[in-house]
Structure formats: C-alpha cells, structure tokens
A and B are shown apart, each in its own frame.
Chain A
Amino acid sequence: MSISTAPWVWISALLSIAILSFLYRDNPLYKFAEHLFIGVANGYAVTFYWHNILVPALFDPLFRQGKLLYIIPFIIGLLYFTRFIPKISWLVRIPIGITIGYYVGASIPASIQAYIIKQIQGTILTPYNFQTWNAGTMGVIWSVILFIGVLCTLSYFYFSKAHKGILGTTSRVGIIFVMIGFGAAFGYTVMARISLLIGRLQFLLGDWLGIIH
C-alpha cells in the first residue's frame, strides 16, 4: 500500500468521495462537489471557446487583419444578445433562424438516408441482406426473427384499428419484442453504472490509496 502524495490525486479522491456520499443521503458535501464540477466544466468551455474559436476565427481576422466580410457573422452573432433588451428582443429570431435552417438543411437528407432507408434495407428479407449480415449459420433464423419482430412491434403502435383478430395477435407478439428490447436496455444500463463505479474504485484504490496496482 502506497498512498499518493500528489495534491491533485487527493483533491480528485476527496471530491469523488463527496459525490459518492449521495448514496447515503443528500448532503452539503455532495452539493459542493456537484456545483464545483459544473462550474469548472463550464468555465473551461467558455475560456476555450474564447481563446481557441472566437479570437482566432473571428476577432483576429476582423479587427487585426481587417477582413471586413467577417462583420456579417459578427453582427449576426451579436443579435443573440438582443434577448436581454425587451424592445428589440425579436431580433434574436434572425440568428436562431439561420442556425436552425442550416442544421435542418444539412440533417434532413442525411437522416432520411442513414436512419430510415438504410435501416429499412437492413430489415427487408433479401438474399443480399442474408449474405451481408454474415451472422453465420444462425443468420437466416435471426433475419426472419428480426423481420417478424419489426412488423409485430409496428402493428402494436398502430392505433387506428381495434387490436382484435390478427392485429390483436401481432400486437401481443410485438409487446414481447418490446419487452425484450427494454430488458436488454436495462441490462446494459446496469452494466454501464457498475462500470462507472468500478472506474472510480480503480482510481480510489489504485491511484490514491495504492492498494491495487
């Protein structure tokens, strides 16, 4: 056992314990560590934005190098601050509109292609689909299960008709698939949370206390 003598390791360890103390109950130590983390993270981000983005990409070209075209993004950016002046606060819609327009224009075709068309292709039963899946001897079986699962799950979310007869059966099968999905997601969530605990304990027992190597 060799306890660390590095001050930053001690600070990290004490703050980690402060955060973990929430498991007992809410307390001032936890609140202090939580606020400190959020404050430091935001402070780091703001200074980084200023020194690495705003100054080299906007202020230097505009005010030092005299590139006057940069006045347009500068003014549009400034319009965000009109939110604080009630009389002209409507001007904030201009930069928001430009930002949303840019993102929507870029994301709609990309999202349709990547998230809808490709995913539908991955569900359709075709010989090509069976080959590219490359899931070994069980590939065909899993393809069929996937196909049935997607159709039954979709039928469960079809509310324009009463869930009776065939629709009743398929929607009940759909619920099973949805439950399996939730179960998998829950299992992964448990794994993720335990992993984070392990990570912290590796730090506390290793880097700080030197019990594990």
Chain B
Amino acid sequence: MKLTDFLIKLTKIDRRVIYLILAAVVILPLIFPTVERVRVMEPVEKLFNAVDTIPPHKALIIDFDYEPQTQPELEPMGIALLRHAFARHIKVLILSLYVQPLGLAQKALTQVTEEFNSEATSRADSIIYGRDYVFLGWQPPPLIPMLGMGVSITNVYQHDYYGNKTDTLEIMQGIKNYNDIALLVSLSGSSLPKSWVAYSQNRFGVAVAAGVTAVSAADFYQFYQTGQFTGLMTGMKGGAEYEEMVESKLGIKKKRKASEALPSLTYAHLVIIIFIIIGNIGYFIKRRSK
C-alpha cells in the first residue's frame, strides 16, 4: 500500500476508534501520574495577589455558579480560593445565582472547612460558620442580588442558606454593602461574570474577578485586558495555576484535582492535534488526486 493511500484510509477511520485512543491517553496518566510543572500565568497571579491583599476589615464574595456540567473545571478553582481565603483568615461570603450550584457550593465548603478544622488546635484556628464565612444561598433573579447588595447585603439575603437571620451573624456586623467587599469572584460556566461587571462594578465600583470554563474563555479575555476583571482563571489549567500558587506561596499541600489532570489534558491535546494534521494531509492528497 502506498503512503498516500494509507493516509487517505486514515481519514476514514471510525470515530469510535478515535474515542478509544482518546480514552486511553486520558486514563493512563491518571492511573500512572507524572509530575507536570504548572507555570502560573499573569491573570491568575493577579487574582491571587488581589485575594492575598484583602484587608481584615473587608470581605471576599465568591459566587459559586457552576453546575454538574462544568464542575470538573470550576470546582478546583472554588476549592483553591476557599483554601487561600481561610488560610489568610479572610471573611468569605458565598452565594449562588442559580439553584443547581447550591449543592455543589455546599460540598466545596464542607470539604475545605473539614480540611482546616481537622488540623486546628484552637477555636481561633478553626473555621467557624457565621464568624469566618457565611453561605448566603440563592436569591432570584440574578439582577436582584447584583444591584441590591450595593445598598444592603442583609436586605437582599435576609436569611442564609440554613435559615439563620443574616443580620444576627457575627461576620455580617462589619459588612453592610459593596463598600465592605474587597473583591467579588464569579465562578461560572455562563456569562454571569460579565453581568457582575455591568451591574455591580459599573454601578457600585466593586472589584470583580472571574473563574470561567475554557470553552467561554475567549469571551472573557477582553474584560481582563480592559481591567474590568481584576484577575481571571480559565478552564482546568487556570484552576491548576491557582492550586500551584496556594501550595507554593501558602504551603498548603492538599489534593490538587486540576493539577493531577494536566498530564491527561496535555496528551489528549497532542492526540487531537495529530488527528487534525493527519486529516488535513489526507484531505489535500485526496483533492490533488481528483
């Protein structure tokens, strides 16, 4: 068989064979993990620095807005952010603008608080609900909390996710509205980070950063370039970069789901690039032979 015939034959390969090859290159690095250096890019570094420099009298809002479809990319970002904030004893306000993310936000919160509390030696070291963080829950439609929190957070969220009156919680004593918020990070698979910019930043001047899925990353970079986003994490790579910062700067050595996935991601990309090249060569040979 001539090489050209072989290449043309390759273009007709069954898609299920490609799926199998992809599955193999994704699964093998997970079973036999290799060390891959994570290079931290500027958008993530800026976000890390913005969180790191939050003063004690101000708070961080994390908008957990990922659903099961986008959880693998965005959950590592949320967990790394929580680890960073709790390690620095930054006050954290958690919310979701849709229903489905509520359970996932609670899962991430439970995991990180348990991590910290299992190593705490005193009450001061512990992460305590109502003192160090509050889960505000859900208040639809998204426009209401985005605009309403500029006036009063406890008016928009009169009760937290667990039914407690928010104005009775210790953490909320010094936090009235966006003036007391140093940074708002939106972790979302939709266009919600842009809405935070349009309604909350534009009107009330609160600093906004985002953690977004890779598929929507191209839509968000221009907002980082204009300075409308203080920092930006994109896809699993963005999550891995933040995990790297948390481990190298704060010395927190915990499970890094995004970083562990990077070798699989790299090999899968290589395989896809090879298939694209083979497909294109076959296409041009076929066109020339006609």
A193 to B143, CA, bound (A): 30
Q: Are B72 and A114 in contact (CB under 8 A)?
A: no
Q: Are B215 and A192 in contact (CB under 8 A)?
A: yes
Q: Are A118 and B138 in contact (CB under 8 A)?
A: no
Q: Closest Cβ of chain B: how far from A118's Cβ, in Å? A: 5
A189 to B214, CA, bound (A): 6
Kindly report which residue of chain A lies nearest to residue B215, judged by CB atoms.
Answer: A192
Indicate whether B226 reaches chain A with its CB closer than 8 angstroms.
yes
Indicate whether B227 reaches chain A with its CB closer than 8 angstroms.
yes
Kindly report which residue of chain B lies nearest to residue A110, judged by CB atoms.
Answer: B198
A110 to B147, CA, bound (A): 11
Kindly report which residue of chain B lies nearest to residue A41, judged by CB atoms.
Answer: B100
Chain A: residues with Cβ within 8 Å of the partner, total of 47
Q: Using a CB-CB cutoff of 8 Å, which residues 179-205 of chain A contact chain B?
A: 181, 184-185, 188-202, 205
Q: Which of B170-178, B199-207, B244-252 contacts A (4 or more CB under 8 A)?
A: B199-207
Q: Are B30 and A115 in contact (CB under 8 A)?
A: no
A205 to B24, CA, bound (A): 13
Indicate whether B235 reaches chain A with its CB closer than 8 angstroms.
yes
Q: Closest Cβ of chain A: how far from B106's Cβ, in Å? A: 13
Q: Are B261 and A195 in contact (CB under 8 A)?
A: yes
Q: Which residues of B contact A115 (CB under 8 A)?
A: 194, 198
A49 to B100, CA, bound (A): 12
Indicate whether B218 reaches chain A with its CB closer than 8 angstroms.
yes
Q: Are B30 and A114 in contact (CB under 8 A)?
A: no
Q: Which of B83-91, B110-118, B262-270 contacts A (4 or more CB under 8 A)?
A: B262-270
Q: Which residues of B contact A196 (CB under 8 A)?
A: 69-70, 72-73
Q: Are B218 and A205 in contact (CB under 8 A)?
A: no
Kindly report which residue of chain B lies nearest to residue A103, judged by CB atoms.
Answer: B143
Indicate whether B257 reaches chain A with its CB closer than 8 angstroms.
yes
Indicate whether B27 reaches chain A with its CB closer than 8 angstroms.
yes
Chain B: residues with Cβ within 8 Å of the partner, total of 54
Given known A-B contacts A200-B72, A201-B26, A52 and B138 have beta carbons under 8 A apart? yes
Q: Using a CB-CB cutoff of 8 Å, which residues 120-143 of chain B contact chain A?
A: 137-138, 140, 143
Given known A-B contacts A41-B100, A53-B140, A198-B261, A122 and B222 have beta carbons under 8 A apart? yes
Q: Closest Cβ of chain B: how far from A123's Cβ, in Å? A: 9
Q: Are B214 and A191 in contact (CB under 8 A)?
A: yes
Q: Using a CB-CB cutoff of 8 Å, which residues 212-253 of chain B contact chain A?
A: 213-218, 222, 225-228, 234-237
Indicate whether A121 reaches chain B with its CB closer than 8 angstroms.
yes
Given known A-B contacts A23-B16, A194-B26, A212-B30, A184 and B143 have beta carbons under 8 A apart? no
Q: Are B215 and A122 in contact (CB under 8 A)?
A: no
Q: Are A122 and B226 in contact (CB under 8 A)?
A: yes
Q: Are B138 and A191 in contact (CB under 8 A)?
A: no
**Most A CB atoms within 10 A — which of B42, B222, B225?**
B225
Indicate whether B151 reaches chain A with its CB closer than 8 angstroms.
no
A119 to B222, CA, bound (A): 8
A103 to B147, CA, bound (A): 12
Kindly report which residue of chain B lies nearest to residue A48, judged by CB atoms.
Answer: B99
**Most B CB atoms within 10 A — which of A103, A181, A194, A197?**
A194
Contact pick for A44, options B27, B99, B199, B225, CB 8 Å: B99
**Most B CB atoms within 10 A — which of A133, A184, A190?**
A190
Q: Using a CB-CB cutoff of 8 Å, which residues 139-195 of chain A contact chain B?
A: 146, 181, 184-185, 188-195
Q: Which residues of B contact A212 (CB under 8 A)?
A: 30-31, 33
Contact pick for B72, options A52, A53, A198, CB 8 Å: A198
Q: Are B264 and A132 in contact (CB under 8 A)?
A: no
Q: Which residues of A contact B265 (CB under 8 A)?
A: 191, 194-195, 198
Q: Are B225 and A133 in contact (CB under 8 A)?
A: yes
Q: Which residues of B contact A202 (CB under 8 A)?
A: 30, 72, 257, 260-261
Q: Which residues of B contact A103 (CB under 8 A)?
A: 143
Kindly report which residue of chain A lies nearest to residue B203, judged by CB atoms.
Answer: A110
Indicate whether B179 reaches chain A with its CB closer than 8 angstroms.
no
Indicate whether B197 reaches chain A with its CB closer than 8 angstroms.
yes
A106 to B146, CA, bound (A): 11
Indicate whether B272 reaches chain A with its CB closer than 8 angstroms.
yes
- Of the A-B pairs whose beta carbons lie under 8 Å apart in the complex, a sample of 19, sorted by A's number, is A44-B100, A45-B100, A56-B159, A107-B198, A110-B202, A110-B203, A111-B198, A121-B226, A132-B227, A191-B235, A191-B265, A194-B269, A194-B272, A196-B70, A201-B26, A201-B30, A201-B264, A202-B257, A211-B31
Question: Given A196-B69, A199-B72, 4 other A-B contacts at CB below 8 A?
Answer: A41-B100, A122-B222, A188-B217, A201-B27
